[in-house]
Chains A and B, each alone.
Chain A
């Protein structure tokens, strides 16, 4: 069964203090790994898709990387508006279309 583990569960940063969020996964074969941002009371908002080990994608202060067993979301010089829960999800290459989400990392950026 696919497994996705995110760490830490919660992270508090000072504005400008860079850090990384981790997503470890177990799948029979990876079709895609997704990062989403979720604000309180809202649905998840898509950030990145990564398809193969070694791939990297960037958007503003965020950079996502992928290895065969984990993905990192690097946040450079975060701002208070980056505060949210960040969710990782995997799509297995098996015959099913199931997407498995982790429980998320709740990020708080303090001014």
Chain B
């Protein structure tokens, strides 16, 4: 595709429910990042994929958060048993390789009520 696509754009869920956020990166991009961004803050790193390999998950806050990229393209970030503190903008970015410019998607605004 022309850019990084994330879906849904907005998600409202009840506390305790599981949510899955999808990222479709730019075709051919090897590297994929997930970030979380609070209002007025810079993006906070969550996890990194090189092709289908999750090479860094040091930023995932706890074991309710997980991510996968099974075929080295589309990625899913899953949050289990959501809590209100999980409410944030979740952003995905892809890049041709690591340590090069990253292209960000529009993000998914998650609200846990």
Contacts and interface: CB of A to CB of B under 8 A. Distances in A.
Contacts, number: 60
Classify the interface of chain A: helix, strand, loop or mixed: strand
A98 B41 contact: no
Given A34-B101, A43-B105, A89 B58 contact: no
Interface size range on A against B: 20 to 34
A21 B92 CA distance: 26
20 contacts: A4-B42, A31-B99, A32-B99, A42-B106, A43-B106, A44-B102, A49-B99, A87-B42, A89-B42, A91-B98, A96-B58, A97-B55, A97-B98, A98-B58, A99-B33, A99-B45, A99-B102, A100-B45, A101-B44, A103-B42
Interface of B: 4, 31, 33, 35, 40-45, 48, 50, 55-56, 58-59, 91, 93, 98-107
Ordered nearest first, which 3 A-B pairs have the shortest CB separation?
A43-B104, A101-B42, A46-B101
